[in-house]
Amino acid sequence: MSPAQTLTRRTVLIDRVLGGIERVGNKLPDPFMLFLLLFAITAVASTAMAWANVTVQLPGTDEITVIKGFFTAEGLTWFTQNIGVNYLGFPPLATVLPILLAVGVAEKSGLLAALIRKAFGSAPRWSLPYAVAFVGVVGSIMSDAAFVVIPPLAALVFKAAGRHPVAGLLGGFAAVGAGYSTSLFVTSLDALFAGITTSVTQNLPNAGSVVTPISNYFFNVVSALVLIALAGFMIDKILEPRLGRQGISREEINDDDVSGPAAMSTRLTDIENRGLFWAFVAGVVVAGVILVGVLLPESPWRNEDGGFLPRSPLLSSIVFIVFATFVIPGLVYGKITGTIARGSDVPRVMGHAIKDMSGFLVLAFILGQFVALFNFSGIGSWLAVAGAGGLESIGLTGFSAVVAFVLLASLLNLFIISGSAMWTLMAAVFVPLFVLLGYEPAFIQGAFRVGDSATQVLTPLNPYMIVLLTMLRKYEPQAGLGTIIARMLPFAVTFWLAWVAVLSVFFFFDLPMGPGNGIMIPQ
């Protein structure tokens, strides 16, 4: 069989697998309807268990928990009285919304895009793959906008440097997607995941350390550095040479309509450079004020012992710190460049940020109801005790159980693209389960991040795959989703293995995942 025939058969096989994933994934309902269905199933199951007088006893406690049914007098009155509380009390709202407003100012003012262009434009030719990897992995700070902004900018700067633009395009997408759950900085995703984790641990006895937006920070930094190095290496040594062997065009076939980020120059104007300088100065001032405030011997942000760990007002103020870090430099940049000219522009750009997240705000309504019912009914505790007992009975309680959990998250990520929706679903069952096995919730949350990111560049259910395909067809008119899958697969597999390896180092060396958050719950 000739190499061409082998390649054709391989392409057909990839397309068949892709088609199967797409058919199965398309049968899943919208996330809102999915959790509405899960809410209904939980309501029916809790009622049946209540009628059967099912009880559960959490290890380490003498209290017997009786399963409460939704379709009972107690359950129905609970729901009708608390539907608003269930929504507004959904923990991610309290942390995500303030950070979202601040990131919205930094993004809409143009500060984040200018930082990305600065990083690209100042990188020497040999380092461009690593610059793309760095910006892509760190770009998750821009949330979903990174999928649209970074790949075409990477293609533009690769082409300007005489390198293959498709390598920049695909490498930028791989770095953004596969490294989406990690960053060198605290992002709104950290706040979102921490809020969901807190919502399922607040009623558990001995649930370990409090989970905050910085509970995975040490793990995130190490993971981000490893993924940046790997992504840069793969763009430089694997992706770009393969594109050359395949004879992929370096020139756009149809370049009549170049708009959006692709039309943006990587070279910053004088006023943009001035805006970046003063935004940097503003950031340094903010950091200095915060440091002075917390390092004073009698600082009110210290705990009763005069320190900061494991709990202190400082750790409880992380949302404010992130808010100030984004909003003040964003305002300064906007004022210098003219993107925020008047005071009335500030609520306008914040409003745009909320508008961009309106889908999540709607989804949060049903997520809040689902989590609240899970906690009220006691089903989560029952599943956790039963699951922990099952794992212990087969001897699967060590790191192998954590890897199995990561693998499950990776597979589910092919069908449930929303990280918040998937973590809500998985956290409700697996966080209490692993807590009973002695694991800190922050560690399990960190393990979930591995599975949540690595495979999302492989699934056609990712809407940004279609955006990428449109960009790719400017160079390869015959390209399809199978083309993208084949080129993303090496990134996904390598990222997954490397990320699990990082997780194993933290586990076996008992390294802290973040300030005040370890691997196992202290006994």
**Minimal CA–CA distance to 163: which of 225, 263, 232, 99?**
232
**Is 517 within the bounds of a domain?**
no
In this structure, is residue 163 part of a structural domain?
Answer: yes
Does residue 393 form part of some domain? yes
What integer pLDDT is reported at residue 343 of this predicted model?
Answer: 86
Rounded CA separation 34/421 (Å): 9
* Residue numbers of the domain that contains 444: 43-53+85-508
251-301: pLDDT as tens digits: 876 544 444 444 455 678 899 999 999 999 999 999 999 999 988 888 998
- Look at the block and give the residue holding tokens 């600082």: 299
Domain-located, residue 106: yes
Structural domain contains residue 200: yes
Q: What are phi and psi of 303, to 5 degrees?
A: -85, -175
Look up residue 356 and give its amino acid: D
pLDDT digit string (tens) for 121-158?
667 888 889 999 998 898 777 666 678 778 887 887 88
Task: Identify the bridge partners of residue 57 per DSSP, sorted by sequence position.
Answer: 64
- 79 is a domain residue: no
- Beta carbons of 169 and 471 less than 8 angstroms apart: yes
SS3 labels along 204-240: CCCCCCCCCCCCCHHHHHHHHHHHHHHHHHHHHHHHH
**In contact, 369 and 83? CB cutoff 8 Å:** yes
Residue numbers in the chain where pLDDT is lower than 70: 1-31, 58-62, 91-92, 95, 121-122, 142-145, 253-266, 309-311, 384, 388-389, 391-392, 415-418, 460-461, 463
Whether 313 is covered by a domain: the verdict is: yes
CA 356 – CA 360 distance, rounded (Å): 9
What pLDDT is recorded for position 367?
A: 80
Cβ 374 vs Cβ 380: under 8 Å: yes
- Does residue 148 sit within a domain? yes
d(CA 96, CA 113): 21
Q: How many domains does the chain have?
A: 1
Question: What is the helix (H) or strand (E) element at residue 66, kind and residue range?
Answer: strand 64-66
Q: What is the pTM of this model?
A: 0.70
Looking at residue 423, what DSSP letter applies?
H
Q: What DSSP assignment string belongs to 122-169?
A: TS-GGGHHHHHHHHHHHGGGGTTHHHHHHHHHHHHHHHHTTS-HHHHH
Report CA dihedral (146, 402, 413, 420) to the nearest 10 degrees. Answer: -60
